[in-house]
Amino acid sequence: MIDKGKFPIGGVNVRAMDYEAAVHSIIEAAHGGFPYAVSALAVHGVMTGSLDPIHRKRLNGLDLVLPDGQPVRWGLNLLHRTKLEDRVYGPNLTLKVAAAAADHRLPIYLYGSRLETLERFSENLKKQYPDLIVAGMEPSKFRKINKEEKLQTAARIKASGAKLVFVGLGCPRQEVWAFEYRELLSMPLLAVGAAFDFHAGTLKQAPGWMQKRGLEWFFRLYQEPKRLWKRYLYLNPLYVMTLLAQWVGMSRRHVLVPNGDVPEESFG
């Protein structure tokens, strides 16, 4: 297991960790029944936090932020000499945690996306891991919810008997969700985004050779140009500039700790 600690990229603290250590920490939290909010961030996720100080506090308030994208891993290696050999890709982490949950008989809950996607995702997971217990699933409401609805959602998840939750609301909504539900749900909350669609078979993943070269963004831009062009064509160059600025010492953002003044968003 590799766990070299947290390091800032653009003010967002990312954990230099491998799959084995990440899965171990998540399963340990599920057994212990304590709050543990997790996200795997690519460039878009890191830059969303870097550009927004309030969201940056949320991200730095999560228990585990992992390097989902190759460029994020490269950033850790460049700035902090972590020598990480692989990223922790959210869709792969999802399968590894599901496999471990099946082995440990830890029921899971699926939250987000659409009902059809959840049903296909659940079916495919159970085909791969017959011992996996899916305690419940709940599609996104695709709107903000009020405090009462939020408490009802938390109550439903706890009543299901789930020991961990996979959250697929898209970045940054899923990270907001994990941050806000962390204290309401004493269990791991994994913000894994497109993993729902990938493993449900509703969205294709980039070929392996593109993933290894950090070109997954290009594949996704080709799939959804109208929705994603602004994200990639603006944030990718900005990420490179952020790395270079931090590398030469122009940007010296320190580790941030949430101070309780983060406004609630309550996405459902």
Model confidence at 254, in pLDDT bands (50, 70, 90)? very low
pLDDT digits (tens, 9 = 90+) for 178-222: 999 999 999 999 999 889 998 888 877 767 776 777 667 666 666
What contacts 93, CB < 8 A, 6 or more positions away?
A: 19, 22, 23, 40, 66, 190, 192, 195
Question: In this structure, are residues 223 and 144 in contact, taking their beta carbons and an 8 Å threshold?
Answer: no
Does residue 223 sit within a domain? Answer: no
Q: 61-93 pLDDT, tens per residue?
A: 999 999 998 999 999 999 999 999 999 999 999
Give the range of the structural domain holding residue 47, as residue numbers without chain letter. Answer: 10-213+237-247
**72 within a domain of the structure (yes/no):** yes
- 180 falls within a domain: yes
Backbone φ and ψ for 160, nearest 5 degrees, come out as -70, -20
pLDDT tens digits, 128-185 = 999 999 999 999 988 888 889 999 999 999 999 999 999 999 889 999 999 999 999 9
> Is 14 a member of any domain?
yes
- Tokens 């140009």 sit on residue: 225
Task: Confirm whether 68 is domain-assigned.
Answer: yes
At 32, the amino acid letter reads G
229 in any annotated domain = no
- Is residue 94 in some structural domain? yes
pTM: 0.87
Q: Are 9 and 60 in contact (CB under 8 A)?
A: no
The number of domains in the chain is 1
- 75 Cβ neighbours under 8 A, 6+ residues apart: 9, 14, 46, 67, 239, 243
Is 195 part of any domain?
A: yes
Provide the angle, in degrees to the nearest 10, between the axes of the packed helices 115-128 and 90-103: 60
